[in-house]
Structure 1
Amino acid sequence: MAFPPRYIADFCSHAACLVVEADGEGHVLGHAGDAVRDGWFAGQGYRVLRFENNRILAERDGVFRAICAVLAASSPPPRAGAARRLSPSPQGGGRRA
């Protein structure tokens, strides 16, 4: 999933405001740019989960449960700059008072 201006997420749910990253060997010792990148995603209202590739392959069910737990634990944070959607009411037809 591509995000402007320069970041690409491995997996993303816009509805849940969640980014899941699969980290390969370059991330074993920690990648200095990851914190900046994660901060950018957070600033856009996304939560970021990171899993090492070998954990994803070896513990597929555990990774799935971890993602589900995060999704169930809280509602997504408000997205930066997201306009509040109006839901139509029978009386007001979605108009603000």
Structure 2
Amino acid sequence: MSSYQTEVQNLNYNAATRCFEALVVFHEGHETRKVPTSAPLPIATDFEAVSTVLVARAKTHRAKGRAKLMSRSPTQKAGRLIHINDMIRQLKDTMGLKDMQTAA
């Protein structure tokens, strides 16, 4: 069974557009997906209402494929993140290129 959590990060009010803006983060099993979103709400709106609207809008954008700036974190394996250096090392080991230097 996979775990699922949602959080609202970097919540700001943009006075020029009269919108709340935030990064909605979906934690789904071993993946983290981040969707930037905004909602035109009055500045006096309480946090619970703002976060509910922002999460709903992010879910809708994501479901319809309109979350153009969505990002995903690397997959998690055995309780740790696989970073690009680990992936390169694994590829080199698989191809027998252990002695080849990494360009960095």
TM-score normalised by L of structure 1: 0.30
In terms of fraction of residues, the more strand-rich structure is 2
TM-score normalised by L of structure 2: 0.29
* Structure with larger RCO (C-alpha < 8 A, sep 6+): 1
